[in-house]
């Protein structure tokens, strides 16, 4: 079965759905999402959208905070355009139906998070992502120009070079999981917005869908990927086995929460002058250090100085979730640990979301735009998705007449060849567990040359086994996700090994200094090892 559209979007988070809504003015859009439309990382975002609305704030301050967090690798032009376009992006969300928290005077109730110099976090309590996702999904389902394919996931991008043509992306092969059939979707422009890759690690705040699918597909198709070593570990995830890595927002620390050892001693001032408002990378390493030093299974986040009324109003989601596990955050500190949270690297794009592969556009966490550099400033991720979705849609809108001049490419449908149904799914589950565990142990918060070498050797062996199994058996969601996280693991390890310094989210005990010679992006392309390149 072959489908065609002007725009094919893979992913249903803030970036993919924002693009779809804006692009629907210019043509037909097909949105592919591998679960229900609202099951995206966006729905789990507690913090909010960073944007300048306060008279005490300024674009210059927002830019300065972003650049300071990015540890020398932010692209200044990208930072400038994102902070300046942020207020309009928030207003657009409100126009399509998103409801944000308001102060008594009706103005936006702006929160503050770590490493922000001013209050600029537009939020909906602590369920901001859920509210944004709700509004976007409702608007998409109401649009006659958007076709939504739930329970579908990308298998591989379709490039004409595979069939003797030019190096151009013209769509994707997509698995209809419910029917077990791979469909062919061709498009004038293909947009990857599949989110991040937190599931490459054993412990993550990410939902199960975050398996790096878009990055892996783009890399296999020949697109350039950058800065994969910069994986952000959120410092505070609820330490409760039954909670499945429930995130405790940085906004608690913005409201005065203090990190403590199990003895009650606060410790962040020993690690950074900003104390409990230190950047995430510093915070995660500090917690990791203190847990290893003391042998503790977790540390404590204490916000008991705030009233119960305030906590229920400002953090309703966190208050209720902690209560579900017997923790009264008004009287008890919250046990927390770090977990993989956000990938600052991804598929390289220009100022409009274009990748280096013609016909392929990339948005959101799947992309590396240059905004985050070596470390993301809190609440800049939703902002990036909004800004670049608009820029990509408007650019493609200006090109659509030109793109329609030629016929829709004719490409072969998916061929199963001699592949047979999976006969030993244990191979998939075993490799899945081993891969994620070795990434946590060897390529996590603190790295070393020896750990990276061990990880590279073992992942190479796993890749051989995974690839052999992949080509012999019919594709399933589990097999596709395993294949993708293995590719992401290779990219993270290779990029980390090439950066022989410590910078931002990449910290190695063998190269603890930050060196000016390494103030460049790490770039990798299929067939070309990871290397540093100026930006």
Catalytically active residues are 280
Query: Residue 442 is inside which H or E element, if any?
Result: helix 426-442
* Kind of pairing between the strands at 181-192 and 169-176: antiparallel
Structure-block tokens of residue 207: 């939902």
Say if residues 82 and 380 touch (Cβ distance below 8 Å).
Answer: yes
Nearest to 312 by CA among 131, 133, 121, 127: 127
Query: Residue 3 is inside which H or E element, if any?
Result: strand 2-10
Report d(CA 410, CA 522) in Å as an integer: 36
Residues in the chain, total: 535
> In terms of DSSP H, where are the helices of 295-416?
308-314, 316-324, 381-403
Structure-block tokens of residue 504: 């931002």
Report d(CA 171, CA 221) in Å as an integer: 11
**454 C-beta neighbours (distance < 10 Å), count:** 16
Coil/strand/helix, residue 374: coil
If DSSP states are collapsed to H, E and C, what string results for 461-525?
A: HHHHHHHHHHHHECCCHHHHHHHHHHHHHHHHHHHHHHCCCCECCECECCCCCCCHHHCCEEEEE
Say if residues 307 and 330 touch (Cβ distance below 8 Å).
Answer: yes
- CA contacts within 13 A on the Cβ side of 91: 7
Say if residues 338 and 233 touch (Cβ distance below 8 Å).
Answer: yes
Q: Is 438 exposed, middle or buried (0-12, 13-18, 19+ CB in 10 A)?
A: buried
Report d(CA 255, CA 268) in Å as an integer: 16
**1 C-beta neighbours (distance < 10 Å), count:** 12
Report d(CA 455, CA 218) in Å as an integer: 23
Say if residues 357 and 191 touch (Cβ distance below 8 Å).
Answer: no
């Amino acid at each position: 079965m072959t489908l065609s559209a002007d725009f094919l979007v893979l992913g249903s988070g803030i970036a993919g759905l924002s693009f779809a809504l804006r692009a629907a003015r210019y043509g037909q859009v097909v949105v592919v999402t591998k679960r229900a439309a609202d099951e995206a990382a966006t729905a789990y975002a507690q913090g909010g959208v960073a944007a300048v609305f306060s008279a005490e704030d300024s674009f210059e301050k927002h830019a300065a905070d972003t650049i300071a967090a990015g540890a020398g690798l932010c692209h200044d032009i990208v930072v400038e355009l994102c902070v300046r376009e942020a207020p309009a992006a928030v207003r657009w969300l409100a126009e399509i139906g998103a409801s944000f928290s308001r102060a008594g005077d009706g103005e936006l109730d702006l929160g503050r998070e770590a490493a922000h110099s001013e209050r600029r976090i537009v939020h909906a309590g602590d369920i901001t992502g859920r509210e944004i996702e709700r509004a976007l999904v409702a608007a998409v389902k109401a649009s006659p120009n958007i076709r939504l394919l739930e329970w579908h996931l990308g298998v591989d991008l379709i490039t004409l070079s595979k069939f003797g043509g030019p190096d151009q992306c013209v769509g994707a092969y997509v698995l209809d999981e419910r029917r077990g059939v791979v469909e062919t979707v061709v498009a004038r422009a293909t947009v990857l917005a599949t989110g991040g890759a937190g599931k490459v690690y054993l412990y993550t705040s990410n939902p199960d869908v975050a398996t790096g699918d878009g990055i892996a597909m783009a890399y296999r198709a020949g697109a350039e990927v950058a800065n994969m070593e910069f994986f952000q570990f959120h410092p505070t995830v609820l330490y409760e086995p039954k909670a499945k890595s429930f995130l405790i927002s940085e906004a608690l620390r913005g409201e005065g929460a203090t990190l403590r050892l199990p003895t009650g001693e606060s410790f962040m001032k020993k690690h950074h002058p900003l104390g409990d408002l230190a950047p995430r990378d510093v915070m995660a390493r500090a917690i990791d250090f203190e847990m290893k030093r003391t042998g503790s299974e977790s540390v404590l986040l204490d916000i008991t100085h705030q009233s119960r009324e305030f906590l229920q109003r400002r953090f309703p989601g966190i208050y209720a979730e902690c209560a579900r596990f017997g923790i009264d955050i008004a009287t008890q500190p919250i046990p927390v640990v770090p977990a993989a949270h956000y990938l600052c690297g991804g598929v390289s794009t220009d100022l409009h979301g274009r990748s280096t592969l013609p016909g392929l556009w990339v948005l959101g966490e799947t992309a590396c735009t240059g905004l985050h550099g070596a470390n993301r400033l809190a609440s800049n991720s939703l902002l990036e998705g909004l800004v670049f979705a608009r820029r990509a849609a408007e650019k493609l809108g200006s090109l659509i007449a030109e793109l329609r001049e030629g016929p829709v490419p004719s490409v072969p449908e998916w061929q199963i060849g001699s592949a047979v149904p999976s006969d030993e799914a244990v191979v998939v589950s075993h490799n899945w567990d081993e891969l994620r565990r070795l990434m946590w142990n060897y390529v996590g918060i603190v790295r070393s040359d020896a750990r990276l070498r061990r990880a590279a050797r073992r992942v190479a062996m796993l890749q051989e086994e995974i690839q052999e199994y992949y080509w012999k058996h019919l594709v399933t969601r589990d097999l596709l996700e395993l294949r993708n996280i293995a590719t992401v693991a290779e990219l993270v390890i290779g990029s980390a090994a090439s950066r022989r310094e410590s910078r931002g989210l990449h910290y190695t005990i063998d190269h603890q200094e930050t060196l000016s010679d390494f103030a460049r992006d790490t770039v990798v392309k299929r067939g070309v090892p990871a290397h540093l390149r100026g930006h």
